[in-house]
Amino acid sequence: MRKKRKNRNHLFFIAPGFIFYTVFVVLPILCVLVLGFTNWSGMGEIKFIGLDNFITIFTDERFTPTFFNALKNNLKYLVCVWLIITPIQYLIAYVLYIKIPAHKYIKFMVFLPYVISTTIVGFFATLIFNPNIGFMNEFLEAIGMETGAWFGDPDWAFKLLILFVIWQGSGSGIMIFYSNFMDISQDVMEACRVDGCTEWQRFWHILLPLSLPSCASIITMSTIWALAVFDLPYILGGSNGGVNGSLDFANTVFYRYTFGSGLNGRQDYGFGAAICLIMFIIMLLVTFIQNKVLAKFEYDN
């Protein structure tokens, strides 16, 4: 009797969340899968056109170069996440872990930008790098150096973007790495101290391998987010993706063609969904390969 009652009661708890989640999270994902094969303009009948959208994406002479330039930027960004941002986060987490002087203050301050909205980060970037009145140019002028166009300069735009991403986004990763270090058993640390290993040995042979499994999931998440990056490049570069497309990402392209003017001057949600699908497939692919590599790396240790 009691068992029967239990069986019914869990539905009370799960059903509300399940319904909302299904309608507003899962259903849209399924919709993208279907819409990508149509040329629906948002009104009227939905007509399936097979792979036409994908053929357009890869062969249209106006769209394809833009899209591939955006994908190239995404890839560049991803490489920066892997080779610059994540190592920096890891190292800062490490120096906080070994309690360098003033580590409490540093911890407090490096995490602060995490709670600042991306629009405000964009505002700060304008404040400093605005070519007309920004602090940077004022400063360079004052010391008699040449001023720059910064975000208006394709050579600089991407580098500055990465700098601001590090400033705003690295806090969360640092905290996660840091808490992973804190989870490592003190016994291991003690044993390693008794055995008299150097700081370098301890870092390389103990901390790194022990924290890798938990690093794998944060790297996966940051990869997914790197491929979906939108806010900061859009705010800094505008909807056209900056000068010469230097701040154009797959998502900005998607936004421009879906909610903006569209490819041929008509609203085509099917085409937008097709772009989403390709982004999604790339995400799956990169995550899959990355997990394979990380798993192998873990095994080696």
Between 148 and 187, how does the x/- string for binding to another protein read (CB under 8 A)? -------------------x----x--xx-xxx--x--x-
Task: Using CB under 8 A, pick the residue from 135, 204, 288, 297 that binds another protein.
Answer: 135
Distance of CA 41 to the CA centre of its chain: 30
Place of tokens 């991306």: 118
The reply on whether position 189 binds another protein by CB under 8 A is yes
Task: Using CB under 8 A, pick the residue from 1, 4, 25, 299 that binds another protein.
Answer: 25
Q: What sections of 130-207 are H helices per DSSP?
A: 135-142, 154-183, 186-194, 199-201
Q: Which is nearer to another protein, 133 or 296 (CB)?
A: 133
The reply on whether position 13 binds another protein by CB under 8 A is yes
The reply on whether position 58 binds another protein by CB under 8 A is no
Q: How distant, in Å, are the alpha carbons of 153, 156, 187 from that of 258?
A: 27, 28, 56
Task: Using CB under 8 A, pick the residue from 78, 80, 161, 279 that binds another protein.
Answer: 279
Between 87 and 126, how does the x/- string for binding to another protein read (CB under 8 A)? -----x--x-xxxxxxx-xx-xxxxxxxxxxxxx-xxx-x
Give the separation between CA 32 and CA 272, rounded to whole angstroms: 9
Q: How distant, in Å, are the alpha carbons of 78, 259, 291 from that of 225?
A: 9, 21, 15
The reply on whether position 251 binds another protein by CB under 8 A is yes
Task: Using CB under 8 A, pick the residue from 67, 77, 129, 254 that binds another protein.
Answer: 254
Helix (H, G, I), strand (E, B) or coil at 48: strand
